[in-house]
Amino acid sequence: MKIKKLFFLSDNQMMITAIEALGKEVGGEFFTLSNEDDAFHFIRDIVPEVILVDISTISAETIKKIEAEFCEKIPVVELVTKGEEGAKRVIQAPLDIANLMSNLDRICGDFNGEG
């Protein structure tokens, strides 16, 4: 799976900036947002190939709603810190921007609508 459209939800401005720069570097459409309330509208409008959620800055309630609404059509990957529990698909923080795309390809390559 070669990811060209990614949605990243986080309240960490440094990670948002890094994801946006990576999108420009790889020529992808990478959308970032820190507002949980607007996330659902954005996801519905842009229909990303992958949703990446920073669970350390986004409420558990929002994450559950995102997974419930979108995980059958779009892989939802959670960015977790060491010791945190995550969903089926996780990437551990600190975020390795240099290898993010290959890690997401590996994690989402078997996506079949089950999370």
3-class state of residue 35 by DSSP: coil
Domain span holding position 49? 5-108
Report the percent of the chain where pLDDT is more than 90: 55
Total number of domains in the chain: 1
Residues present in the chain in total = 115
d(CA 30, CA 16): 10
Tokens of 73: 């059509």
| Residue that is written with structure tokens 């990957």 in the block | 77
Q: Which amino acid is at 60?
A: A
Kindly report, residue by residue over 30-72, the tens digit of the pLDDT: 999 999 999 999 999 999 999 999 988 999 999 999 999 998 9
CATH number (domain holding residue 34)? 3.40.50.2300
- Answer whether residue 79 is part of any domain: yes
Sign of CA dihedral 103, 90, 47, 57: negative
| Predicted model pTM | 0.85
